[in-house]
Structure 1
Amino acid sequence: MRRGMRGALLSLSFMLSLAAAAGAAEPLRSGQPVFDRVIELVDANFYDAKAIERFKQAAQSQIADGQSPISATSPAGQVDAAITAILASLEVSHTGRFKRDMIDYFELADIFRFAIRSDIRRLFPPDGEVRYPGIGMVTAVEDGHRFVTDAYDGSSARRAGLLVGDEILSVDGMPYHEIGSFDGKVGRSIEIRLRRARNAEPLAVKVQVESLRPLPMFERAIEQSIALVEREGHAFGYVRMWTLSTRDGLDIVARALSSGALRNAEGLIVDLRGRWGGGAADAAELFVGDTPSFRLVPRRGETTLANFRWRRPVVAVIDEGTRSGLELFAYTLRQNAIPLVGRRTAGALLAGRAYVLPDDSLLELAVSDAIINDDLRLEGIGIEPDIAVESPLAYAAGRDPQREAAEREMLRLLVSASSGPVSPLKAPALTR
């Protein structure tokens, strides 16, 4: 090759390299470390490449536009709002930021403990076990009032008689805060003032504050929810799957059905109105799998339940708390003609992962899509119930119309089974 041509090619290569470098997008930087780290993590790990440009535009607008652009000196409240806004631009589930003043922070930290294992002992000294002060109660604000949405089975909130639908007015005379109301009070009783009926006089309830470990608490809640219900000469079981993320949750249910409190139940209501999903994709096989039940029986010692399959009638309860792995669970039941009672599921089926941010808050980020049978996505769609039942929250006084409807449907199945073939419900199509 002639020297002139070689020089020309080298020059062209150099110019192309400069052009490529000039065209490469510079990373967005505000100087605010938490905000900038969120941008980095989304850019590197978010599952949908098509959404990244929209996300970057939202981030750029927070950095460069408006009267108060994000910078190194931005106050915490402004940073929080900006991060919430840019994550919302992704328009998917399994994506959000959680701080230590939120119950969700602790529950997700335990669920994602493997993903944040390098930080877990520092975040939760001395042993890396996730704990928070609380009473096992979750609330939500509706029309400017705060109501109990869940009181975990076996919790001090449940033992004290707190009910779903109670309006929370104060804790020890101060406004309610998810963590702050109980911080430093473990082992002590606090006073919750609440209103159980609209315009009624407030009630005062004493509740013991506990040090809660989320995953063991959920296992306890699953076990404590198990009940044998007797109606009109029939006996059927009930269990609430608060999450599939615990190690032994499904085993607890299997033992109750095979040899425990529900062994003689004629049917089972499985309540999938959970807090979190998680779990194995084949979790629903406990109720619909084809493999046989079997036990390992040694010469000495206890018999071990190696595999169990429930072959009697099942009715499931669903609502917007049925998400992620629980949503796949509900879909599997639907495909096997098991009636679903309640409201449409969350439409939140992606794979998420947690990251620790510079201020020790958690970023949950959707890192993988979830596709069923090659072409079906439940994200943003959800599953409609076979029997639609609303469940108003405010001042519900613990009444549960969805569970009541599930019990009626179970009775229908049991009565029909004793008198002839059961007429299956026609499942509605999945719709947006």
Structure 2
Amino acid sequence: MKLTNKSFIAIAVAALVFLASFQIQKNDRYFEIIKNLDVFTTLYKELNTYYVDEINPTDIIEIGIEAMLQSLDPYTNFIPEDKIEDYRIMSTGQYGGIGTTLGKIEGRNVVMMVFEGAPAETAGVNIGDELLEVDGNPISDYSTDEINKLLKGQIGTQVEVKVKRSGEKRPLSFTVERQRINIESVPYYGIIENDIAYIRLTEFSSGAGASVRAALVELKGKGAKKVILDLRGNPGGLLNESIEVSNVFIPKGLEVVSTKGKIEEWNKTYTANKNPVDINIPLAVLISNNSASASEIVAGTIQDYDRGVLVGQRSFGKGLVQATRPLSYNSQLKITTAKYYIPSGRCIQAIDYSHRNEDGSIEKIPDSLKTEFKTRAGRVVYDGGGVSPEFKVENKGLAPITIQLIKKGFIFDFATEYFYNNEESVPDPKSFAITDNLYNQFLDWVSTKDYSYITATERAINKLKETADSDKYLEFLEKEIRALETDIQEHKKEDLKVFSSEIKKALKEEIISRYHKRQGMIESSFENDEEVEAAIQLLNNSNKYQGLLEVEN
């Protein structure tokens, strides 16, 4: 079709108008950026000059940066120079230090865990030691982060620590040489029943895939014919390690994840690029509400290829990818650059950060907006809400009494005292049990402690009283409410007996950790672990296992 001169001129004019409009919009955007940066600069200058008190420039600017990034999503963060080392540790799983995990218990700075073979263990530092000084500096008022910074340092240098130990009248001092500490992404693996292998993966730091691969090869050599991969509570980590872990169970060449963002050249598709260990071994993957990011990539990939069965609760729902960008003065920006999509094509991101309510709040993606996808076998799965397991196991959580005993450190302290009273008798993680006699010793010990607590039911009653008082109904309901409160107090007196099974479980794990560190603690936790038990039963029932992976008629 030929264009007339008038038509050509009309099209040319329209194109010029569009380009001019685009340029104006572009210039308007640049002007807005320059204007607001100028406002920010002049505002800070006026504050610095005229504010009544001295202003710390680093603190106030960091607060401004954090507030700005907070309006985007929780994963876009500013990393100042003094926190770069912490970020590097999270990424690599390595640091120079002594190999301990610290925590605060009722104001005490306590060694919660000592890594197997770490310098702290070699020097003689034990779980339960209360840290008093580091290199002669009293640290009672220090935060856990501040103490960790004192303990970390150049490999080969020494640090002096002074501790208070249960049963010792005087503080003990230890000289510990800092070494390279590797945080194991697979703290435990083993055969847990007959021919069922178990692998616990706690984070996706550098080398996580290689660790899972090596563990499965070793366990298959010991006769494993089925496997449980435990991703419960795993917050994620490096994207490439999720590909490596998936590749252990799926064939080379299969797509694992793709990313899509604003920068088109950054959009990529990642495939399994190694030979797998085993693509047929029956597989149960344990997930929980706190399994996120890279954990969800692995779980979602296993589900989308119908490679195994997911057991537990629906995962967290983080389908966002972060990258780091260098900033001036050795600082960095960790920024969300893309969304990731697992093999079925779905994104499991559960919260829509790009659309906020008028008050700035955010909501989960409603079910009405979720899209249906299908696994390779044709099973229906959905986007926008994490990964849902085929075999659901309800996580009932702990009773308020158990939470309070843990929070107050009473279970932790009793385990420490037990250890020093029974150092010569090393318990076996699998066979050790909290006998009724030992539990009664704990009850006698804790009876002198203040473990009072308020239940959710009591908080609800207090709220009811406030509402009834506001509505002028309190005098009519007061008698019934008082009777209800009395009943609750009577029941709470029995909580140590009613919830003895879960308290015993917590005691067992804590006592075993004193003798066998992390590995023993994990091994001892299998008893009364509902998700592990469900996975074992499922793997031992091939008909039920296969049925969950087939399309419902």
Q: TM-score, normalised by structure 1?
A: 0.58
CA distance in 1, matches of 2:43, 2:299: 45
3-state DSSP class of the match of 1:309? Answer: coil
3-state DSSP class of the match of 1:348? Answer: coil
1:366: Cα distance to partner? 0.9
Structure 1 residues without counterparts, runs of 5 or longer:
1-8, 37-58, 112-130, 293-304, 428-432
Equivalent residue in structure 2 for 1:241, among 195, 198, 201:
201
1:251-299 deviations in Å (ceiling 9; x for gaps): 333233234686423443323325624225644544652579xxxxxxx
| Aligned CA distance change for structure 1 residues 274 and 262 (closer, same or farther; 3 Å) | farther
Aligned positions of 1:167-178 closer than 5 A: 171=134, 173-174=138-139, 175=142, 176=144, 177=146, 178=148
Equivalent residue in structure 1 for 2:210, among 251, 256, 259:
251
Q: Which residue of 1 aligns with 2:224?
A: 265
Question: In the comparison of the two structures, how many residue pairs are matched?
Answer: 344
3-state DSSP class of the match of 1:370? Answer: strand
Instruction: Give the AA of the match of 2:65.
Output: I
3-state DSSP class of the match of 1:100? Answer: helix
1:90-111 deviations in Å (ceiling 9; x for gaps): 1242544254346532225659
Q: Are the counterparts in 1 of residues 92 and 205 from structure 2 also a CA contact under 8 Å?
A: no
3-state DSSP class of the match of 1:323? Answer: coil
Q: Which residue of 2 aligns with 1:212?
A: 180
Equivalent residue in structure 2 for 1:370, among 334, 340, 353:
340
**Residue 351 (1) aligns with residue 311 (2):** no
Q: Which residue of 2 aligns with 1:78?
A: 60
1:309: Cα distance to partner? 1.3
1:78: Cα distance to partner? 1.4
CA distance in 1, matches of 2:25, 2:41: 27
Instruction: Give the AA of the match of 1:369.
Output: K
The structure with more helix, counted as a fraction of residues: 2
Over aligned residues, Cα RMSD in angstroms? 5.4
| Aligned CA distance change for structure 1 residues 191 and 21 (closer, same or farther; 3 Å) | closer
Instruction: Give the AA of the match of 2:28.
Output: G
**Residue 26 (1) aligns with residue 31 (2):** yes
Equivalent residue in structure 1 for 2:149, among 156, 173, 179:
179
Q: Which residue of 2 aligns with 1:330?
A: 299
1:365: Cα distance to partner? 0.8
Q: Are the counterparts in 2 of residues 245 and 278 from structure 1 also a CA contact under 8 Å?
A: no
3-state DSSP class of the match of 1:308? Answer: coil
Q: Are the counterparts in 2 of residues 28 and 60 from structure 1 also a CA contact under 8 Å?
A: no
Structure 2 residues without counterparts, runs of 5 or longer:
1-12, 254-273, 352-384, 413-509, 514-520
Q: Which has the larger radius of gyration?
A: 2
**Residue 361 (1) aligns with residue 331 (2):** yes
CA distance in 2, matches of 1:30, 1:133: 45
| Aligned CA distance change for structure 1 residues 189 and 108 (closer, same or farther; 3 Å) | closer
CA distance in 2, matches of 1:74, 1:311: 60
Q: Which residue of 1 aligns with 2:507?
A: none
Equivalent residue in structure 1 for 2:190, among 228, 236, 243:
228
3-state DSSP class of the match of 2:61? Answer: helix
| Aligned CA distance change for structure 1 residues 286 and 402 (closer, same or farther; 3 Å) | farther
Q: Are the counterparts in 1 of residues 185 and 205 from structure 2 also a CA contact under 8 Å?
A: no
1:360: Cα distance to partner? 1.1
Q: TM-score, normalised by structure 2?
A: 0.47
| Aligned CA distance change for structure 1 residues 404 and 30 (closer, same or farther; 3 Å) | farther
Aligned positions of 1:390-401 closer than 5 A: 390=397, 394=407, 395=409, 397=510
CA distance in 2, matches of 1:151, 1:345: 30
CA distance in 1, matches of 2:201, 2:230: 6
CA distance in 1, matches of 2:524, 2:349: 22
CA distance in 2, matches of 1:389, 1:207: 44
3-state DSSP class of the match of 1:369? Answer: strand
CA distance in 2, matches of 1:424, 1:144: 52
Percent of matched pairs sharing the same residue: 15
| Aligned CA distance change for structure 1 residues 410 and 152 (closer, same or farther; 3 Å) | same
| Aligned CA distance change for structure 1 residues 376 and 82 (closer, same or farther; 3 Å) | same
Q: Are the counterparts in 2 of residues 148 and 166 from structure 1 also a CA contact under 8 Å?
A: yes
| Aligned CA distance change for structure 1 residues 403 and 190 (closer, same or farther; 3 Å) | farther
3-state DSSP class of the match of 1:227? Answer: strand
